[in-house]
C-alpha cells in the first residue's frame, strides 16, 4: 500500500478547531450532554449503563447495539451489522478488504478526503464530479463512462459532504441498479442521513445485497464523542472479511460508548427531529446573512446534512479570505483546498460552512462585522 498523504481537513482542524472563537464549519449536528442522552434511555439501558463492566466487548459489536442499528434498516438484521470505532475506521478497512492493486474504483468529488485517498493508495481510481452548475447533481452517464471491466467499487456520499447535495431517489436507485448489473460493490457513505431538508434517500443496503451502507453516531445524531460507526452489509462472506480486518485495528469498541450509542439509536427519531428543528431555525439566518452580502457570495441552502459549499466571489480568493477571517475575526470556515482532488479538477472558489449547531448568531455577527471592517 502506498503511503497516505496528510489528511488536510484534520491537519487544518488540529490547528484551529479548538482555538477558534467561532466554529462555523462543523459537519455534525448540535451535540448533547451526557445527562440529556441518559434521560432518553429506557429502564433496561439505564440499568445496563449503571451496572456496566469495563471489559472487552465483541468484535462485531454489542449484540443489542447491532439489533438497534438493524432496526433502522428495512432489509437488514443484526447479523448484517459490524460496528467500528467511528465511521473513518469502517471506511478505511472496507477499502482494504474490497480493493487489490489489480482493481479499479470510482469515487464522486468533492468528497471526504479519505474516500479518495484510501482507494487511491490501493488501486487505480477515477473521479466523477458532482455538477456545481446543477446544484451538485450526480450524472449517471459520467459514472457509467468511468466504469471499467475491473471496477470493483463505486463510492458515494449522500447527503454530500461538503455540498449538502442529495440526488433524486430515482437517480440513486438507478445507480444501485447499475452497480448490481456490473457486479460492483456500491459503498454508500450515509453518515449525514436523517437531517435532510428535502427528501431522504433509501439506504443502499436496503436496495442491494452487494452494497455497503456506512453510518455512525457522529453527524446526524451529533454524538461524535462516542466514536461509534458501523457497516451494514448483507454479503456474509464480505462481512466476515471486515470483521477479521478489524482484529488488526481496534479489535472491539468501547463498552461505555456502545451502551450510549444503543440509547441514542433507540431514541434516534427524537434526536433527529431535534436536530432537524435546529437546522430549520438556522437556515433562514444563513439565507439572510448571505443575501446581505450577495456581492461577495453565491449561496444556496443545503438539501441535506449540516453543511453547504457556497462560492466566494471576492478578488482575493477563497484561501486568503478564509485565512484572514480566522486570524482576524476568529471565525472558522474550510476553504476549497481542503477538498482538492488528485483525480479531477474541483472548484477552487468554495468554502464549507455548517448550519447544524445551535446559536450561530454570534459567529454570523463576527463574520458580518469583519466584512464591514474590510
Q: Considering the domain boundaries, does residue 323 fall inside one? A: yes
Q: Considering the domain boundaries, does residue 2 fall inside one? A: no
Residues 241 and 98 in one domain: yes
Report the CATH number that the domain containing residue 26 is assigned in CATH: 3.90.1150.10
pLDDT at residue 17 in the model = 87
Residues 281 and 177 in one domain: no
pLDDT at residue 15 in the model = 87
Average pLDDT of each block of 10 consecutive residues along the chain (374 residues)? Answer: 84 90 97 98 98 97 98 98 98 98 98 96 98 96 98 98 98 98 98 96 98 98 98 97 98 98 98 98 98 97 96 97 97 97 95 98 98 92
pLDDT at residue 1 in the model = 54
Q: Considering the domain boundaries, does residue 138 fall inside one? A: yes
pLDDT at residue 2 in the model = 66
Q: Considering the domain boundaries, does residue 167 fall inside one? A: yes
Report the CATH number that the domain containing residue 211 is assigned in CATH: 3.40.640.10
Domain limits for position 350: 8-32+269-373
* Of 36, 304, 287, 44, nearest in space to 161 by CA: 304
How many domains, the chain? Answer: 2
> Coil, strand, or helix at residue 298?
strand
Residues 291 and 342 in one domain: yes
DSSP code string of 203-264? PHHHH-SS-EEEEESSSSS--GGG--EEEEES-HHHHHHHHHHHTTTTSS--HHHHHHHHHH
pLDDT at residue 175 in the model = 98
Q: Quote the DSSP letter at residue 40.
A: T
Residues 110 and 251 in one domain: yes
Residues 59 and 118 in one domain: yes
- Which of 266, 297, 320 delimits the end of a domain? 266
Cβ(250)–Cβ(89) under 8 Å?
Answer: yes
User: What's the whole-model pTM score?
Assistant: 0.96
> Coil, strand, or helix at residue 104?
strand
Residues 223 and 107 in one domain: yes
| Cα 142 from Cα 337, distance rounded (Å) | 24
Residues 251 and 197 in one domain: yes
| Cα 368 from Cα 371, distance rounded (Å) | 5
Residues 187 and 287 in one domain: no
Residues 260 and 274 in one domain: no
- Three-state SS sequence of 107-165: EEECCCHHHHHHHHCCCEEEEEECEHHHCCECCHHHHHHHCCCCEEEEEEECCCCCCCC
Residues 104 and 242 in one domain: yes
Residues 202 and 336 in one domain: no
Residues 223 and 286 in one domain: no
Q: Considering the domain boundaries, does residue 3 fall inside one? A: no
- Which of 251, 266, 281 delimits the end of a domain? 266
Dihedral (C-alpha) 240, 246, 162, 106: value to the nearest 10 degrees? -50
Q: Considering the domain boundaries, does residue 340 fall inside one? A: yes
Q: Quote the DSSP letter at residue 374.
A: -
pLDDT at residue 193 in the model = 98
pLDDT at residue 238 in the model = 97
- Which of 266, 285, 300 delimits the end of a domain? 266
Amino acid at each position: 500500500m502506498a503511503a497516505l498523504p496528510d489528511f488536510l481537513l484534520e491537519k487544518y482542524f488540529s490547528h484551529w478547531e479548538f482555538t477558534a472563537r467561532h466554529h462555523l464549519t462543523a459537519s455534525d449536528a448540535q451535540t448533547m450532554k451526557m445527562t440529556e442522552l441518559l434521560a432518553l434511555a429506557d429502564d433496561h439501558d439505564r440499568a445496563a449503563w449503571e451496572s456496566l463492566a469495563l471489559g472487552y466487548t465483541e468484535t462485531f459489536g454489542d449484540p443489542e447495539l447491532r439489533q438497534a442499528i438493524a432496526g433502522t434498516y428495512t432489509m437488514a438484521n443484526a447479523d448484517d451489522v459490524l460496528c467500528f470505532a467511528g465511521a473513518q475506521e469502517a471506511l478505511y478497512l472496507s477499502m482494504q478488504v474490497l480493493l487489490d492493486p489489480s482493481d479499479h474504483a470510482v469515487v464522486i468529488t468533492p468528497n471526504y478526503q479519505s474516500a479518495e485517498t484510501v482507494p487511491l493508495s490501493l488501486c487505480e481510481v477515477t473521479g466523477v464530479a458532482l455538477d456545481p452548475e446543477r446544484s451538485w447533481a450526480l450524472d449517471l452517464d459520467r459514472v457509467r463512462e468511468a466504469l471499467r471491466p475491473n471496477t470493483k467499487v463505486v463510492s458515494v456520499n449522500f447527503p454530500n459532504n461538503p455540498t449538502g447535495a442529495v440526488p433524486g431517489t430515482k437517480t440513486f436507485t438507478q445507480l444501485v441498479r447499475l452497480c448490481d448489473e456490473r457486479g460492483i460493490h456500491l459503498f454508500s457513505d450515509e453518515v449525514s442521513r436523517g437531517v435532510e431538508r428535502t427528501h431522504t434517500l433509501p439506504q443502499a443496503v436496503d436496495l442491494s445485497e452487494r452494497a455497503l451502507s456506512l453510518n455512525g453516531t457522529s453527524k446526524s445524531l451529533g454524538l461524535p464523542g462516542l466514536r461509534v460507526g458501523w457497516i451494514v452489509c448483507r454479503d456474509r462472506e464480505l462481512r466476515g472479511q471486515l470483521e477479521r480486518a478489524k482484529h488488526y485495528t481496534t479489535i472491539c469498541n468501547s463498552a461505555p460508548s456502545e451502551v450510549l450509542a444503543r440509547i441514542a439509536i433507540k431514541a434516534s427519531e427524537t434526536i433527529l427531529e431535534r436536530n432537524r428543528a435546529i437546522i430549520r431555525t438556522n437556515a433562514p439566518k444563513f439565507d439572510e446573512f448571505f443575501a446581505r452580502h450577495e456581492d461577495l457570495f453565491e449561496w444556496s441552502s443545503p438539501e441535506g446534512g449540516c453543511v453547504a459549499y457556497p462560492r466566494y466571489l471576492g478578488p482575493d480568493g477563497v484561501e486568503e479570505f478564509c485565512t484572514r477571517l480566522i486570524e482576524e475575526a476568529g471565525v472558522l470556515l474550510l476553504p476549497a483546498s481542503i477538498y482538492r482532488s488528485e483525480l479531477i479538477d474541483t472548484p477552487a472558489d468554495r468554502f464549507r460552512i455548517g448550519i447544524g449547531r445551535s446559536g450561530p448568531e454570534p459567529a454570523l455577527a463576527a463574520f458580518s462585522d469583519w466584512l464591514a471592517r474590510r
